[in-house]
Amino acid sequence: MRRREFIAAIAGSAGLGRLSMAQTVQRKGRLKQAATRGCFGKGMSLEDQCREAARLGLKGIDLVGQKEWPTLKKYGLLATMCPAGGGSIPEGINRKENHAEIEKTFRENIILAAEAGMPNVITLSGGRKGLTDEEGLDNSVILLNKVKAVAEDKQVTICLELLNSKVNHPGYMCDHTKWGAEVCKRVNSPRVKLLYDIYHMQIMEGDVIRTIRDNIQYIGHFHTAGNPGRHEPDETQELNYRAIAQAIVDLNFTGYLAHEYSPVRDALKSLDQAISICDV
């Protein structure tokens, strides 16, 4: 009896192993996808988020700080976009008075990201607050020129985020692709690019696929969300994410597309659906 019980237990364990493997979602993976923590809903620990991210076929989680990187690595994940002290939405790189502190934290955090094998760090333009777009552009270029050498040396990409100033962030300066692309053009570094947030640029510009095609050389990272509402990408909103993802893949983009939305339904089912839509 004991021998039979032992054999049954082994068989049961094997069955659990097969079940676990069956639960892991296999993706085409032509577009490397990640997510922000908000996509997992409320109340889930980072440990559980990482476990689910790995199961769903994601490559990383965006905007996770250094202290939490070991948890990501435990599950084979990256911090696909790292906080870097590169300014804030109201106070960013477009003002010279912010440059000394931002340059210091940038240098420190770019090195930390490189040592941990993390690919990207984020920066923000800051608000207009009386500055003209040309003044802000000039100031942003000055700061990025100061830190581009360390980014190039460490092979970490600085990504300047495009945000809308119409709905969510009134006064934010980097609110059009043309302005952000001009910053990248003037800095002229393979390690200074844009974080093209599709939700934000749909609000400001529309014409998303054409804009991506025309500016892909300046884009280092993507964020997604449905519009209107900034919820999960699905048939209830106006963006065709399957077509957008296909356009990005066709351009041989090698960076990451990270989902950044607030789910209104079952969070994990919504995330699975969003990943599937973009897995072209």
Q: How many CA atoms lie within 13 A of 30 on its CB side?
A: 15
* Predicted structure pTM score: 0.91
- The per-residue pLDDT string of the chain (280 residues; one tens digit each, 9 = 90 and over) reads 444 443 344 344 343 333 234 388 999 999 999 999 999 999 999 999 999 999 999 999 999 999 999 999 999 999 999 998 889 999 999 999 999 999 999 999 999 999 999 999 999 999 999 999 999 999 999 999 999 999 999 999 999 999 999 999 999 999 999 999 999 999 999 999 999 999 999 999 999 999 999 999 999 999 999 999 999 998 889 999 999 999 999 999 999 999 999 999 999 999 999 999 999 9
- In this structure, whether the domain defined by 28-278 belongs to CATH 3.20.20.150 is answered with yes
Q: Which residues contact 223 (CB under 8 A, 6 or more apart)?
A: 36, 62, 161, 195, 196, 197, 198, 199, 200, 257, 258, 259, 260
Domain chopping of the chain, boundaries? 28-278
pLDDT of 15: 36
